[in-house]
Amino acid sequence: MPAKDIFHDCVKHALVKDGWTITDDPLKLKWGKSKLYVDLAAEKFLAAEKSGRKIAVEVKSFVGASALRDLEQALGQFMIYHAVLQRQRPKRILYLAVNKETHQNIFEEDVGRLMIEAYGIPIIVFDEKTEVVVRWIL
């Protein structure tokens, strides 16, 4: 199993504060011989819903030497997980979780905005100090 991202627990706490129940840590998937591990899976039930909303969350810190290289790796991993989830658990929406600084410095810039628009990447923006979700981008 791969190592947890440095913000893994922070995102987990933020989701719980936001009313989500963590169902998997990590969410284990298998496609052929490949074993995949999405960081978190969660559900949120509303009074009027029977099945609730289901999400999977891939947490990324973007702390490498190159922001563009970090973006390439995150998007590649995201696309693989997304494809497998669509086949195996199509009701679960995959999100990429990034902190406020990463969102501002990468996803509010030209290339990041293009990736969100071109590939429809849902993003959870969190504050790592207060461990709260500050924005959902779908």
Q: pLDDT (tens digit, 9 = 90+) per residue, 89-109?
A: 999 999 999 999 999 999 999
- The residues pairing with 128 across neighbouring beta strands, listed in sequence order, are none
- The residues pairing with 50 across neighbouring beta strands, listed in sequence order, are none
- Residue 123 within a domain: yes
Q: Is the pLDDT of residue 42 over 60?
A: yes
- Residue 119 within a domain: yes
Domain span including residue 38:
8-137
Q: Is the pLDDT of residue 48 over 70?
A: no
Q: Which residue has the tokens 């891939």?
A: 58
- Residue 105 within a domain: yes
- Please give the single-letter amino acid code of residue 128: E
The CATH number for 116's domain is 3.40.1350.10
- Residue 129 within a domain: yes
Q: Is the pLDDT of residue 74 over 60?
A: yes
**Bigger pLDDT: 115 or 47?**
115
Residue 37 Cα to chain centre, angstroms: 12
